[in-house]
Amino acid sequence: MGQSLEFVRDLWVEARLSAPPFVQRTVILRLHEVKEIMRLLSRPYLPVCQMQGQGQGGPLTVTYVGLEYAKPFMRSILFAEEPVEQQMGRIPFWRYDELAYPPSSDVVIVEATRHLIRRLPRQNAVVLPQYVHHILDVRGDWQDVRGRFRKSTRQELRLTRKYGYRYEVSHDDRDFEFFYRDMYLPTMKIRHGDLASPMPVSEAHQIFRHGFLFLVKRDGRRVCGSLCHVERDTIRYMIMGVIDGDGQIMREGAVGALNCLRIQWANQQGYKAVNFLGSGIPRLNGGMFQHKRKWGTAVSVPPHLHRQIWIGVRQNTPAVSRFLKDNPFVVVDKNGELHGLVVVDDLHNVSAKDKEEWKKRYGTPGLSSLLIRSLDHFAEEPASRDDPGLVIPMPPKSLSRKSQ
């Protein structure tokens, strides 16, 4: 059974990679949507579990419904220690009232396709994209592209020069095996530990056959690299790794050099953009989100990704308040626009200085606005422009150097 599923997945990956651009934009896109709908129809009863434990701010009870791809990560940011988990049965997806209002919970989370999520109430709730992409416009001369970087990249640029990092592009299978075994897998293990879910080697090799490796060298030794795929006029950075997951090499700027050199290469080759791929469950203060944001990227939801996460607040407890304040999420409104959501204790104590600081720290192209809310105002739809004092507008497209 496992081999059959792997064979089907490999066929699907090959079809996506090999299809002509027109088919990619139309047929493949529609197939993604059909696949999500068929998955829902083939498994109409959504599993329900309840998690109880100690949140960062006190006792916390969470009901989790539906898909569970994001569940390990959500559990890690909800609870200070491993919670007690109990299976509660299953709910048919057409019973929306039971999905949104299970008994005895502080927070309810539903992870499902957007076709189901959009039927759930928006009061006392937020909707998160399960994933966003970070895309950098690399058109223009190199100084134009450099001007899109944020000031926080200065250290990476300095280390790139200090250690004399260089690059090479490879299509050699032996280099792929070296990259996957000695760079990618160790880095995934060190970064994510037990939550690591590496791309299968067969899928990575299929991408490599249609793409290339971008390898960074220091003193002639390959120390870092990424697997890249060309999608029309955009370079997509699929996976990356540092030799043996070496933390010292990372601290000495190898990852920054990888980003800088491959952006410069894409600019020199005449590509339109580079896609850093994404942040799963995007948080404005998350390390991955901030790392990709500082290179001047804009965020967007890929058109083929249909899964979303609905978070409903049922009890205003210290643990719930702490969870929302500690995790300023990217949220999506009914029209599909993205916003940043900042939760505070008291809206009356938000100063102009606070707003300016949030705009500087979290403002990202692709977000329509930063929304400021308190738990007392959570009854209103979070992605709303009703009160201008609670909305910080974002500039469109790329930020200029002066605005950073």
pLDDT at 207: 92
- The answer to whether residue 217 scores a pLDDT higher than 70 is yes
| Alpha carbons 121 and 91: distance in angstroms, whole number | 17
| Alpha carbons 161 and 257: distance in angstroms, whole number | 9
Residue scoring higher pLDDT (146 or 5): 146
| Alpha carbons 399 and 148: distance in angstroms, whole number | 6
On whether the pTM is more than 0.95, the answer is no
User: Is 328 a member of any domain?
Assistant: no
Task: Find where tokens 């709908």 sit.
Answer: 37
Report the domain count for the chain: 2
Q: What is the mean pLDDT of the chain?
A: 85
Same domain, residue pair 147 and 277: yes
pLDDT at 389: 61
Task: Kindly state the tokens that stand for 199.
Answer: 């791309």
Task: Kindly state the tokens that stand for 6.
Answer: 């792997």
User: Is 316 a member of any domain?
Assistant: no
User: Is 309 a member of any domain?
Assistant: no
Task: Kindly state the tokens that stand for 180.
Answer: 């996957």
pLDDT at 319: 95
Q: Where does a domain end: 42, 57, 74?
A: 42
| Region for 241 from its dihedrals, namely left if φ exceeds 0, alpha if ψ lies in -120 to 50, beta otherwise | beta
| Alpha carbons 157 and 154: distance in angstroms, whole number | 5
User: Is 279 a member of any domain?
Assistant: yes
Task: Kindly state the tokens that stand for 373.
Answer: 């809310």
The model's pLDDT over 147-202, given as tens digits with 9 standing for 90+, comes to 999 999 999 999 999 999 999 999 999 999 999 999 999 999 988 787 778 889 99
Q: Residue 398 carries which DSSP code?
A: S
Same domain, residue pair 147 and 276: yes
pLDDT at 61: 96
Same domain, residue pair 143 and 249: yes
Same domain, residue pair 37 and 150: no
Three-class SS state of 128: strand
Give strand ranges (E) for 150-208. Answer: 166-170
Residues in a beta bridge with 163: none
The model's pLDDT over 102-115, given as tens digits with 9 standing for 90+, comes to 768 999 999 998 88
| Alpha carbons 301 and 132: distance in angstroms, whole number | 5
Q: Where does a domain end: 293, 311, 332?
A: 293
- The answer to whether residue 347 scores a pLDDT higher than 90 is no
- What is the rounded average pLDDT of the residues 217-229? 95
Q: How confident is the model at residue 375 (pLDDT cuts 50, 70, 90)?
A: confident
Question: Which segment of 23-37, 73-87, 244-258, 269-283 scores lowest on mean pLDDT?
Answer: 23-37
Q: Where does a domain end: 242, 258, 293?
A: 293
CB 328 within 8 A of CB 306: no
Task: Kindly state the tokens that stand for 273.
Answer: 């953009």
- The answer to whether residue 404 scores a pLDDT higher than 60 is no
Same domain, residue pair 280 and 141: yes
User: Is 353 a member of any domain?
Assistant: no
Closest CA to 202 of 398, 1, 60, 9: 9
Q: How confident is the model at residue 266 (pLDDT cuts 50, 70, 90)?
A: very high
Task: Find where tokens 């592009």 sit.
Answer: 169
CB 358 within 8 A of CB 339: no
pLDDT at 305: 80
- The answer to whether residue 225 scores a pLDDT higher than 50 is yes
User: Is 67 a member of any domain?
Assistant: no
Residue scoring higher pLDDT (383 or 223): 223
Give strand ranges (E) for 93-233. Answer: 107-113, 125-129, 131-137, 166-170, 211-218, 221-231
pLDDT at 401: 38
Same domain, residue pair 287 and 148: yes
- The answer to whether residue 386 scores a pLDDT higher than 70 is no
Same domain, residue pair 13 and 139: no
Host domain of residue 29: 2-42
